Amino acid sequence: MVGITRAQRARGDRPVVDDAALYIADNGRCLCGAHLGNMARFTGRDISGQKVERMTPAAARKALRVFHWEPACETCGRKAS
Ligand SMILES: [Zn+2]
């Protein structure tokens, strides 16, 4: 993984995710772009190869209304803005 990231940095690749946004990855884990992990940050897919899905404001509101769960990053607690 480190090797992949180093090669991408060397090429000047930029993360494909927004650090301030929330994403659903890794079998339903909720993480902000900054904590998705380098694989997902640079490729848009987590280490199991699944596409990470950006949580839209509408989806965040629905989660709160339906599941009484306010989406937040599991690492830093950042909430959908
Ligand atoms: Zn975070």
Q: How far is the CA of 77 from the centre of ligand 1 (A)?
A: 6
Structural domain includes residue 74: no
3-state DSSP assignment of residue 35:
helix
Asked whether the CA dihedral 59, 51, 39, 14 is positive or negative, the reply is negative
Q: Is residue 24 part of a domain?
A: yes
Domain containing residue 49 = 2-67
Q: Which residue has the tokens 């965040």?
A: 60
In-domain check, residue 54 = yes
Residue 76 within a domain:
no
What is this structure's pTM?
A: 0.80
Distance 49 CA to ligand 1 centre (A): 20
Q: Report CA(48)–ligand 1 centroid distance (Å).
A: 20
Residue 19: which of 64, 78, 62, 74 has the closest Cα? 78
Distance 41 CA to ligand 1 centre (A): 12
What whole-number distance in Å separates Cα of residue 46 and Cα of residue 53? 10
Instruction: List pLDDT tens digits, range 6-60.
Output: 777 777 778 899 999 999 987 789 999 999 998 899 999 988 899 999 999 999 9
Domains of the chain: total: 1
Residue 30 has a pLDDT of: 95
How far is the centre of ligand 1, averaged over its atoms, from the C-alpha of 16 (Å)?
Answer: 16
| Residue 59 resides in a domain | yes
Is 73 a member of any domain?
no
